[in-house]
Structure 1
Amino acid sequence: MSNITRRALLGTGAAVALASPALAFPDRTIRIISGFPPGGLNDVVSRAMAQALTPILGVSVVVENRVGAGGSVGGTAAARSAPDGHTLWMGIVDTQAILPTAMRALQYDPDRDFAPISFVANVPFAFISGPSQPNIRDFRALMAAGKARPGVISFASWGVASTSHLAMERVLRQQQVEMLHVPFTGQAPGMQAIIASQVDCMALPAGGAEGAWRAGQLRVLAVAAKQRVPLYPDAPTILELGGTLDAGLWKAIYAPARTPAPVITRLNQAVHEAMRQPQFIEVLRLQGAVPEPSTPEALAELQRRERAAWGEVVQATGAYLN
């Protein structure tokens, strides 16, 4: 091979290398789309992730709230974004596993339209009750009351087909109990209704109940987790009580489909590094959760399993949104 030919080929290789997505990425601000309002759990975790990623990736990482339709407005916006790694999506169990069955007019498909990057965390659910039922001091008493008075004991949620709604439905189906579902427009209104004795109980992310629990305004009866949650050391798990529910408001980070594999690899590494930062760990601790990094392949498999499991509950309860 002549020197001229060798130099020409080397030059071509250098040009290809410079054009490589991995080397060119990132070259501008990255946005993480959250499908829920500022101040909520998804927003808090998204902002903690953005803050941790900024020094790691060397560019500004910001959160953009695209709110509406149970998170599907944000999901649609993220799915339709350029697949270059500069738009990320903080998906949750609702948007990735429940809405595909509950919302017939959903404008994206979680399996087809997103490239998984990493699982982030599973925020366990706490089952709470308030002053309306002073004799209900533990989870078994709640189930017994439900069996004794079918359709009379009420439970709040932050909307039809939300995780809060369906987590309770899964428990009630296991226990063969019928309760009255009272949907609200958000977690906070549902909690206020319980504190005001308008509704009897609710399933919500563990960290969301801590303030009212410490103030003595409600009781934490049980948690849906593999082991007890440090926030509520005296609250047994559903598993301890003989149930099978280990469910929470899980969160994971995605890019639009067709994002180049080298970019996904870089983002996976960066997200895992972000999840090791003390500030990020503390944000999750306050929610009763810990970071759970994963491979893209493991996230894709979990999403498929969760989509099937929650889809069965939607179909069994008729919790459709359109």
Structure 2
Amino acid sequence: MLPPLRRRLIAGLPAAALAAALPASARAQAWPTRPVRLVIPFPAGGATDIIGRTLATRLGATLGQQVVVENRPGAGGSIGADAVAKAPADGYTLLMGTGSTHSVGPAINPKMPYDAFRDFAPVAHVANAPSVLVVGAGFPARTVQELVALLRRSPGRYNFGSSGIGTYPHLSAEMFKWRAGGLFVVHIPYRGTGLVITDLVSGQIAFLMDSVVSAQPHIRDGKVRALAVSGERRSPSLPDVPTFAEAGIAGMDISNWFGAFVPAGTPADILSRLNRDLNAAVRAPEVLERLERAGAEPAGGSPEQFARLIRADHENWKAVIRRAGIKPE
């Protein structure tokens, strides 16, 4: 119980100062008192959206407040990420970030509207997802080697799509072009994966490097054909699809990560509670089942572990961009 003098002083404080005056343990117990917003910086239906919505329901039940999902797509995820970077650091605004927003994008675009390392506090690494190389069901190439041969015969004739400049799908495709011996294929950026799939199916673009999570439904319904998956082993959700190494393309052991962030300056006690509750959400049986069915690999860990992963991934992509000669568009 607070001493009488401290109680009188606190009673006269405005709401914002009142929250700061409370002991950390009391503030963490009081938070949240209203719904929490989870910003998804990509359109509905993509991998980030699927993973974010899967976690939001469980997290809301744990917090005792609704977690409202808000899609803020555009500019390769930077519009939504920037909105969170500039939001109040009070624990009521979270970002479902990815390698696109925090490692790949900043590695290729030095003019991002936010600083990926200074403007955010990493909360928890929640999932990973390998990439899959897909073509339209009617496209003439049925294997990776057939696709490479076709692209080599007609340099500059074919296009590939992505969910935006500097996103994981963009850089994964650039890495494939490089690892395949230097293919000349034109990049067409879109506002989201759904639009890319439409043009892939109609034959407007030749291929897409997408997350297994967002590509899997289209593979299953026969709209697109999977040629290879990234990573060291086959995806459990696509067991018949070879890895790039099995298909003859080495060096494609890449995987996109997904994780929660809050604005820098968010109180440490709120950050700690969010980390604890997100780790619990990722381990919940219904969340595990949904993530694994979607093709994602559940993760977890401390904010410090997540921060190290982001930095290492960022440095890795900087090296790839430099070696492959990839330029900002």
Number of the residue aligned with 1:273: 280
Tell me, in whole angstroms, the C-alpha distance in 1 between the residues paired with 2:129 and 2:306: 16
Quick one: which of 268, 278, 298 aligns to 1:291? 298
Cα distance, 1:153 vs structure 2 = 4.5
State the distance in 2 between where 1:63 and 1:218 align: 29
Q: Give the drift of 1:288.
A: 0.8
Q: Which moved more, 1:78-87 or 1:264-273?
A: 78-87
Question: Structure 2: which 5+ residue stretches go unaligned?
Answer: 8-20
| C-alpha displacement of 1:149 | 4.2
Structure-2 residue corresponding to 1:168: 173
Shift of 1:171: 1.8
The Cα of 1:16 is off from its aligned counterpart by 5.7
Structure 2 counterpart of 1:305, one-letter code:
A
Partners of 1:264 and 1:74 lie apart in 2 by 20
Kindly state the Cα deviation for residue 108 of structure 1 after the two structures are TM-superposed: 1.3
Partner residue, 2:12: none
- Asked if the contact 2:228–2:242 (Cα under 8 Å) also holds between the matched residues in 1, the reply is yes
SS of alignment partner, residue 310 of structure 1 = helix
1:195 is matched with which residue? 201
Unaligned residue ranges in structure 1 (runs of 5+): 1-6
Contact 2:179 / 2:249 at 8 angstroms: preserved in 1?
no
CA contact (8 A) 1:121 1:291 kept: yes
Aligned length: 312
Alignment match, 2:99: 93
- Residue 242 of structure 1 deviates from its aligned partner by 5.1
Return the alpha-carbon distance in structure 1 between the equivalents of residues 24 and 160 of structure 2: 57
**Once the two structures are superposed, what CA deviation does each residue of 1:266-311 show, in whole Å capped at 9, x if it has no partner?**
1111001111223322332243112111211111111111112223
Report the AA paired with residue 221 of structure 1: L
CA pair 110-147 structure 1, distance change in 2 beyond 3 A: same
**In the TM superposition, what whole-angstrom CA distance separates every residue of 1:39-85 from its partner, at most 9, and x where no partner exists?**
33322322222111112111222112233322212211211222222
Change (3 A) 1:86 1:237: same
Give the distance between the partners of 1:253 and 1:91, measured in 2 at CA: 6
Instruction: Quote the Cα distance in structure 1 between the aligned partners of 2:75 and 2:64.
Output: 34
Equivalent AA in structure 1 for residue 160 of structure 2: F
Q: Distance in 2 between matches of 1:194 and 1:68?
A: 20
Corresponding residue number in structure 2 for 1:3: none
Question: How far did residue 317 of structure 1 move?
Answer: 4.4
Q: Where in structure 2 are the equivalents of 1:21-100 lying within 5 Å?
A: 21-100=27-106
Structure 1 vs Structure 2: percent identity of aligned residues?
A: 33
TM-score (norm 1): 0.86
Q: Secondary structure at the match of 1:44?
A: helix
Moved more, 255-264 or 234-243: 234-243
- Cα pair 1:47 1:62 within 8 Å, conserved: no
